[in-house]
Every structure is written in C-alpha cells, then in structure tokens.
Amino acid sequence: MKRALPWLAPLALVPVALAGLALWQSQATPIWLAGFIAACF
C-alpha cells in the first residue's frame, strides 16, 4: 500500500475534478462560442 501511495494520490482530486466537470457542463457551449480556442496555446 505504501508503495502504491504516490501513484494513487491523484484520486484525492476526483471530487475537485467532478465539481470542475459540472462547472464546465454548465458553461461549455458559451465557452466555445466565446472563442476559447483563441487562448488555448
């Protein structure tokens, strides 16, 4: 278990990721339409 800890650490971010996905879901189409592509690189 101790050896696997560093590899499993990102699982702690899953709640944040789910919250972020919900935020994206509510804003996704306006984001694309607003020209998000212009700032991606």
Partner 1 sequence: MTMKRRLPDFRRMRRPWIVIACAAFIVTLAMGVRQAFGLFMPQMSVSLGIGRESFGLAIAISNLVFGLAQPFIGALGDRYGAGRVVLGGTVIYIVGLLGAAWVGSAVGLHLTLGFLVGVGLAATTFVIVLGAVGRVVPAERRGLAFGIVTAGGSLGQFLVVPAAQMLLSDLGYRLALIVLAGLIAVCAVLAIGVAGKPESGAEEGPRQSLREALAEAAAYPRYWLLNLGFFVCGFHVAFIATHFPAYLDDKGLGLAVGATALALVGLFNIFGSYLFGLSGDYWRKNYVLSALYAARGVVIVIFLLLPLTPATAFAFAGAMGFLWLGTVPLTSGLVGTMFGTRYLSTLYGIVFLSHQVGSFFGAWLAGYYFDRSGNYDWAWGASIALAIFAALIHLPVRDAPARQAQPA
Secondary structure (DSSP) of 7-24: HHGGGGGHHHHHHHHHHH
d(CA 1, CA 22): 32
In whole angstroms, the minimum distance from the beta carbon of 22 to partner 1 comes to: 9
In whole angstroms, the minimum distance from the beta carbon of 16 to partner 1 comes to: 7
Q: Rounded to the nearest 5 degrees, what angle is found at the Cα of 12, between the Cα atoms of 4 and 9?
A: 25
x/- letters, 1..40, toward partner 1 (CB under 8 A): -xx-xxx-xx--x--xx--xx-xxxxxxxxxxxxxxxxxx
Site residues, partner 1 (CB under 8 A): 2-3, 5-7, 9-10, 13, 16-17, 20-21, 23-41
